[in-house]
Structure 1
Amino acid sequence: MTFILLLEQIFNGLQLGVTLFLIAAGLTLILGIMDFVFLAHGAQVMIGAYAAASLTALTGNFYLGILLAIPVTFASGYLLEYLLIRHLYRRNHMDQVLATFGLILFFNELIRIGFGPAALFSSLPPSLSGFVNILPETPYPVFRLLVIAVGLACALGIHLLVARTKIGAMVRAGANNETMTAALGVNIRMLRRLVFAAGACFAGIAGMMLGPLTAVEPGMGEPLLILSLVVIIIGGIGSVRGAFVAAILIGVVDTLGRVLLPVILRGFMGQAAADGAGPALASMMVYILMSLVLVVRPSGLFPPKG
């Protein structure tokens, strides 16, 4: 493997990593801070992708479609929390699992009814369709670089919001002692609603970034939800910093594994068998990594304090 190909795959791993972080960041806040098991978080990825694709087609402008889709995903999370999720906070985790699993089926069928079973494909504007040299004679897609930049910007924004602002202080206080925080005058119901809506919005942004790279179709968020849960476990439930580190780690490990393992296996088996076994082993490496982390640090790499 050449250095240029290796560098491209590392960037692809970063792109996958920041996408996983956008999904996992909201999920770790919902699971770690609100103590709510939300299995339908992958549906928010799908909603974001469909909203962006539809609004782009409606307006004829990719950038405007994305800008309009962001408040749509925030509003969908806000309404979902108000209409259903808030009634489940006092229920046990099994009830939450069953209810939110039902939401997965509901949203998938709703999308099929509204848009049909066929996949949608988003086209990029000319300004994002080309390549840029990350090194001399090393072209890389502009849009994938944009995804990395957006993901890093969102990661920085989430960190500053949680660690440096009054809203972040209220979120952290509510996570540590909800009763005392409410006694100090914080509207816990509204705080939960905003955290949930923000998590849905970040997942939606991930869907918007994935739309032009993959097919926009019903159920597209479920495979990413599983990886995002692995990210949360490795990073530490409720830790945004842990989610970021774990997401980048998983993205790079998964991407490099899919490229390097077939090359290594060709020394022990035929090319066809190696090409088939390599990606499967790369997927297994993610879960092996999770197991190793849990053996060494059962609470994750960066468990939240308090």
Structure 2
Amino acid sequence: MSMILLIEQVLNGLQFGVMLFLMAAGLTLIFGVMGLINLAHGSLYMVGAFAAAAVAGWTGSFALALVAALAAAAAAGALIELLVIRRLYDRDHLDQVLATFALILIFSEGTRWLFGSFPLFLDVPAALAGPIMLPGGILYPLYRLVIIGVGLLVAAGVFWLIAKTRIGIQIRAGEADREMIAALGIDISRLYTMVFALGAALAGLAGALVGAIQSVQVGMGEPVLILAFVVIVIGGIGSIKGALVGSILVGLTDTLGGVLLPPLFGTFMQASSATSVGSAVASMSIYILMVGVLLFKPSGLFGGK
């Protein structure tokens, strides 16, 4: 493999990783603060993608599409927290799984009823279309670089929110001892709704950004949700830093594994079987990474004890 191709795949992995961070950050906030397993988080990713595609089709504005994705996902998140999730905090995890799985079905059928079964397409804005020349003569799509930049800026914003603001202090306190902050007069219900809406907005933003490089269709959030769960297990449940590091590790492992492993197996296997075996191992690489991390750090890289 040439160095140029390797650098391109590293950038692809980084872009995939920051997109996973937008999903995993909200998921780990919701689980860390509320102790809730939310299987419907992938549906909020889908809501953002469909909202962006619909608004872009109506207005022709990609900026308005991003605003619509954030607003629609945050509103949907706040609504399901108020109507459904709020009744699940004191229930066991099996009830949470069943209820949020039912939400997946409701969102999927509702989206199919509104938009139909055929995929929608969100065009990359003209200003961001085409490649850009990087040092070393590397041509790389400008839009993918923008996704990387936006993801890192959002990560910095989330870190600042959690570490430096009053609401961040409340979120961290709620994660540590929710009964105590309720006793201090903080409206824990409002805090939960805000955290859920924030996590939903991040998922919706991820869906909108990725919707411009793949089709927008019903069920698109569930495969990403599985990877987001892998990310928070690797990084540590409740840790934003762990979500970022885990996302980048998963993104790079998934992307580079698919490129490097088939040729590697081809060096000591027959050509007819090398590709299939290498591809199979590549598809398992992120789960092998997860097992390897948990063997040495059962709580994840940055998880609490």
Same fold (TM over 0.5): yes
Residues 81-117 of structure 1 deviation map (CA, whole Å, 9 limit, x = unaligned) = 1111111111111000001011111111111111111
Q: Which runs of 5+ in 1 are unaligned?
A: none
Alpha-carbon distance, 1:136 to partner: 3.4
1:43 matched to which residue of 2? 43
Count residues with an aligned counterpart. 305
TM superposition score normalised by structure 1 = 0.97
Pair 272,110 (structure 1): closer, same or farther in 2 beyond 3 Å: farther
Residues 177-208 of structure 1 deviation map (CA, whole Å, 9 limit, x = unaligned) = 11110111111000000000100000111101
Higher alpha-carbon deviation: 296-305 or 187-196: 296-305
The DSSP-based 3-state class of the residue aligned with 1:132 is strand
Alpha-carbon distance, 1:272 to partner: 5.1
Alpha-carbon distance, 1:280 to partner: 2.3
Q: 1: distance between equivalents of 2:89 and 2:218?
A: 28
Q: 1: distance between equivalents of 2:69 and 2:254?
A: 29
1:76 matched to which residue of 2? 76
Please say if 1:170 is aligned against 2:162: no
Q: 2: distance between equivalents of 1:290 and 1:273?
A: 26
Alpha-carbon distance, 1:31 to partner: 1.0
Alignment of 1:20-35 (within 5 A): 20-35=20-35
The DSSP-based 3-state class of the residue aligned with 1:118 is coil
1:141 matched to which residue of 2? 141
The DSSP-based 3-state class of the residue aligned with 1:256 is helix
Q: 1: distance between equivalents of 2:108 and 2:72?
A: 17
Pair 178,144 (structure 1): closer, same or farther in 2 beyond 3 Å: same
1:210 matched to which residue of 2? 210
Alpha-carbon distance, 1:288 to partner: 1.0
1:279 matched to which residue of 2? 279
Residues 52-74 of structure 1 deviation map (CA, whole Å, 9 limit, x = unaligned) = 00010111111222123211211
Q: 2: distance between equivalents of 1:158 and 1:283?
A: 30
Q: 2: distance between equivalents of 1:226 and 1:72?
A: 22
1:201 matched to which residue of 2? 201
Alpha-carbon distance, 1:137 to partner: 1.6
1:288 matched to which residue of 2? 288
Q: 1: distance between equivalents of 2:109 and 2:134?
A: 42
Q: 2: distance between equivalents of 1:292 and 1:28?
A: 21
Alignment of 1:1-306 (within 5 A): 1-271=1-271, 273-304=273-304
Answer yes or no: is the 8 Å Cα contact 2:124–2:213 preserved in 1.
no
Q: 2: distance between equivalents of 1:79 and 1:91?
A: 19
Which one-letter code corresponds to 2:256 in the other structure? L
Higher alpha-carbon deviation: 60-69 or 145-154: 60-69
The DSSP-based 3-state class of the residue aligned with 2:269 is coil
Which one-letter code corresponds to 2:106 in the other structure? F
Q: 2: distance between equivalents of 1:273 and 1:114?
A: 45
The DSSP-based 3-state class of the residue aligned with 2:216 is coil
Alpha-carbon distance, 1:18 to partner: 0.4
The DSSP-based 3-state class of the residue aligned with 1:70 is helix
TM superposition score normalised by structure 2 = 0.97
Q: 2: distance between equivalents of 1:282 and 1:156?
A: 31
Q: 1: distance between equivalents of 2:169 and 2:194?
A: 14
RMSD: 1.2
Q: 2: distance between equivalents of 1:68 and 1:114?
A: 16
Q: 2: distance between equivalents of 1:274 and 1:200?
A: 41
Alpha-carbon distance, 1:275 to partner: 3.0
Q: 1: distance between equivalents of 2:35 and 2:214?
A: 32
